[in-house]
Amino acid sequence: MLKEERQQTILNEVELHNRVLLTDIAETLDVSIDTIRRDVKELDAEHKLRKVHGGAISLGFTTNSTRNTNIYALDEKIKIAEKASTLLKDGSVIFIDGGTTCLELARMIPENLEITCFTLSLPVAMQLTSKSKVTVIFIGGQISKDAQISIGANAIHNLSEIKVDYSFIGTGYVDSTYGLTEFDWDIVQLKKAVIKAAKKTVLLCISEKLNSQHRYKTCDINAINTMITELPPENQLLNSFKNHDIRIL
């Protein structure tokens, strides 16, 4: 076995389990513990992993490659993003919210589409930098650690100064009678500002969230112009939304 393969195997193991024991690796690869120790030492020097007493751990989720974290219900979200991307035309000025569904939309923007895109999500902005024809404008503000988005008065104020054609937003909870609701009050303030900054608001939402609600209200359901789920529009789960003046994709 080549040294390179061995090191690659070690990296894979670390990626997969986030941590490994040197003794385990040595046994599965059938080489001496010294060799593994040296390998891990090298990999550490190359900043491919971090060596700790007795083993090695992954450098973690801090690396800017956003894809490696497992996204819940990714297939559904991709389907939603595909539908959403059909709304985009050259010259559009849009806003893309945070959240994994919106991130998928950002990822799915065609390479040749020439649009201007506002966002307050760091991952979305990172993703959009790879699209050469997209003008990206980041709404600054204090960064929320868990959601990785700008929040706070500054962000809201900045939003008040723009008006986009479409804003693509996610939501924590949605219900046909109670509208869009969130767990977090700050987020609600932000989303209100986003909706106000858009001519038309498009809600991206997996069907699992339908008919759920929480404490703080973002807006009534008819503040939404278009709603996109992974379901076909004629699905009966969407019936309660059809009474309102919402386009369903």
Partner DNA sequence: ATAAAATATGCCGTTTTGTGCATTTTTAAA
Partner DNA sequence: TTTAAAAATGCACAAAACGGCATATTTTAT
Least CB distance to a copy of itself at residue 110 (A):
15
Among positions 38, 67, 89, 133, the unique one binding DNA when judged by CB under 7 A = 38
Least CB distance to a copy of itself at residue 223 (A):
25
- SS in 3 state form for 52-80? ECCEEECCCCCCCCHHHCCCCCHHHHHHH
* C-alpha span between 24 and 16 (Å, rounded): 14
Among positions 19, 21, 50, 184, the unique one binding DNA when judged by CB under 7 A = 21
State which residue, 5 or 220, has the beta carbon closest to DNA: 5
**11 touches DNA (CB under 7 A):** no
* C-alpha span between 93 and 107 (Å, rounded): 17
Longest dimension (CA), the chain: 70
| Contacting range for DNA; rule: CB under 7 A; set: 47-55, 117-125, 176-184, 227-235 | 47-55
Q: How many CB atoms lie within 10 A of CB 158?
A: 19
Residue 35, binding choice from a copy of itself, DNA, none, Cβ under 5 to 8 Å by partner class:
DNA
**50 touches DNA (CB under 7 A):** no
* C-alpha span between 168 and 191 (Å, rounded): 11
Residue 140, binding choice from DNA, a copy of itself, none, Cβ under 5 to 8 Å by partner class:
a copy of itself
**199 touches DNA (CB under 7 A):** no
**153 touches DNA (CB under 7 A):** no
* C-alpha span between 93 and 141 (Å, rounded): 21
CA nearest to 8, candidates 43, 58, 56, 51: 43
Contacting residues toward a copy of itself, per CB under 8 A: 2-5, 8, 11-12, 15, 19, 21, 47-48, 50, 52-55, 57, 60-68, 74, 107, 122-123, 125-130, 132, 135-143, 145, 148, 150, 154-155, 158
State which residue, 44 or 175, has the beta carbon closest to DNA: 44
Q: Are 182 and 216 in contact (CB under 8 A)?
A: yes
Name the residue with tokens 């404490």: 215
Among positions 8, 12, 18, 23, the unique one binding DNA when judged by CB under 7 A = 23
Polymer length in residues for the chain: 249
CA nearest to 134, candidates 118, 155, 157: 118
Interacting residues toward DNA by CB under 7 A:
1-3, 6, 21-23, 31-35, 37-39, 41, 51-55
